[in-house]
């Protein structure tokens, strides 16, 4: 199996049809181990049991960023090689990345409520994740506004790459904005070093989340390929009706 083989949509479908059950099984297994580890993980001396939220919050944040990296790589494929499979990969990754970013935001605010006394503070990290979420929604909106998939792919690729350059800049300026007027009584998260008893379940959960992302992404890519076939067939049908 080489990259060239995978680059052909039909072969991609055939290969992933075989790989998908294994990926799903690996994901379930990783989550089973991860949840067990989380169950037995000790409480944090400062934050108590709420630290358990971290085991989904942090991997979700990591995947929110990772999905954008995947989209950027696919965007390069779209712009440089004009490969349709790259378009498909970019389009399939966007909703999944947005969902993980949303998960990060939701769990973060549920963590913040007992820790800070409010669901939301304009903390630098939370705010950066919120901006990332907005960028995802923008990319999805762009995909949804254009009828022609190839054209939409190129536009979304440009936006994704601009985002990839801009997100670190946004992160930096948000940090700066936040230190400029930091509210005093906010408990800083992750300020202390992480104990191994917490680090191990966190890593297992991160692996499980990554496997979940890969599984969902491959499945969504297969759907996207099928959607394009449906589109082609519909155009063929319309053409057959009109033409001689």
Partner 1 sequence: MNLGPHAAFIVTAYIAATAIVAGLIGWIVLDRRRLSRILDDFGAQGISRRSTRADADKW
Partner 2 sequence: MTALCALFIRDLRLAVRVGGGALIGVLFFLVVVTLMPFAIGPDLGLLARMGPAILWLGALLASLLALDRLLATDHEDGSLDLILTARVPLELAVAVKALAHWLTTGLPLVVSSPLLGLLLNLEAKASGAVALTLLAGTPALTFIGLIGAALTVALRRGGLLLAILVLPLTIPVLIFGVAASNAAIAGPVPFGAPFGILCALTLISLVIGPIAAAVALRQGLE
What's the distance, CA 5 to chain centroid? 26
Nearer to partner 1 by Cβ, of 141 and 162: the residue is 141
Q: Which residue of 65, 146, 158, 214 would you call a contact of partner 2, by CB under 8 A?
A: 146
As a whole number of Å, the end-to-end CA separation of the chain is: 43
Q: Which stretch binds partner 1 (CB under 8 A): 43-51, 123-131, 139-147, 151-159?
A: 43-51
How many of the other CB atoms lie within 10 Å of CB of 55?
A: 24
97-109 per-residue burial string, b: 16 or more CB within 10 A, e: under 16:
bbbbbbbbbebbb
The answer to whether residues 146 and 87 touch, using CB atoms and an 8 Å cutoff, is no
Q: Which stretch binds partner 1 (CB under 8 A): 103-111, 123-131, 151-159, 160-168?
A: 103-111
> Which spans in 47-83 are helix H?
54-76
95 binds, among partner 2, partner 1, none (CB under 5 to 8 A by kind): partner 1
Q: How far is the CB of 185 from partner 2 (least distance, A)?
A: 10
The answer to whether residues 77 and 86 touch, using CB atoms and an 8 Å cutoff, is yes
CA distances (Å), origin 58, targets 67, 74, 90, 199? 14, 24, 23, 11
141 binds, among partner 1, partner 2, none (CB under 5 to 8 A by kind): partner 2
x/- mask, partner 2, residues 101-140, rule CB under 8 A, reads --------x--------xxxxxx---x--xx--x--xx--
Alpha-carbon distance of 188 to 96, in angstroms, equals 29
Alpha-carbon distance of 239 to 88, in angstroms, equals 25
Question: At 201, phi and psi to the nearest 5?
Answer: -60, -35
Question: At 39, phi and psi to the nearest 5?
Answer: -60, -40
103 binds, among partner 2, partner 1, none (CB under 5 to 8 A by kind): partner 1
Q: Which residue of 177, 226, 230, 234 would you call a contact of partner 2, by CB under 8 A?
A: 177
120 binds, among partner 1, partner 2, none (CB under 5 to 8 A by kind): partner 2
Q: Which residues bind partner 1 (CB under 8 A)?
A: 8-10, 39, 43, 48-50, 52-53, 56-57, 60, 84, 95-96, 99-100, 102-103, 106-107, 110-111, 113-114, 212, 216, 219-220, 222-223, 226-230, 232-233, 236-237, 240
Q: Which residues bind partner 2 (CB under 8 A)?
A: 109, 118-123, 127, 130-131, 134, 137-138, 141, 144-147, 174, 177-178, 181-183
């Amino acid at each position: 199996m080489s990259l060239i083989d995978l680059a052909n949509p039909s072969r991609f479908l055939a290969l992933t049809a075989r790989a998908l059950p294994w990926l799903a099984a690996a994901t379930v297994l990783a989550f089973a181990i991860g949840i067990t580890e989380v169950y037995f993980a000790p409480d944090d001396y400062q934050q108590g049991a709420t630290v358990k939220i971290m085991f989904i919050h942090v991997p979700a944040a990591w995947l929110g960023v990772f999905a954008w990296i995947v989209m950027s790589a696919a965007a390069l494929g779209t712009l440089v090689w004009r490969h349709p499979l790259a378009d498909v990969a970019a389009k399939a990754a966007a909703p999944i990345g947005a969902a993980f970013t949303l998960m990060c935001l939701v769990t973060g605010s549920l963590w913040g409520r007992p820790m800070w006394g409010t669901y939301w503070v304009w903390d630098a990290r939370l705010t950066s994740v919120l901006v990332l979420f907005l960028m995802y929604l923008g990319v999805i909106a762009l995909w949804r506004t254009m009828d022609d998939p190839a054209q939409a792919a190129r536009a979304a690729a440009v936006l994704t790459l601009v985002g990839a350059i801009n997100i670190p800049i946004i992160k930096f300026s948000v940090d700066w904005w936040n230190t400029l007027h930091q509210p005093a009584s906010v408990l800083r998260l992750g300020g202390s070093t992480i104990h191994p008893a917490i680090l191990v379940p966190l890593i297992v959960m991160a692996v499980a989340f990554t496997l979940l992302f890969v599984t969902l992404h491959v499945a969504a890519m297969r759907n996207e390929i099928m959607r394009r076939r449906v589109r082609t067939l519909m155009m063929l049908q319309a053409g057959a009706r009109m033409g001689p």
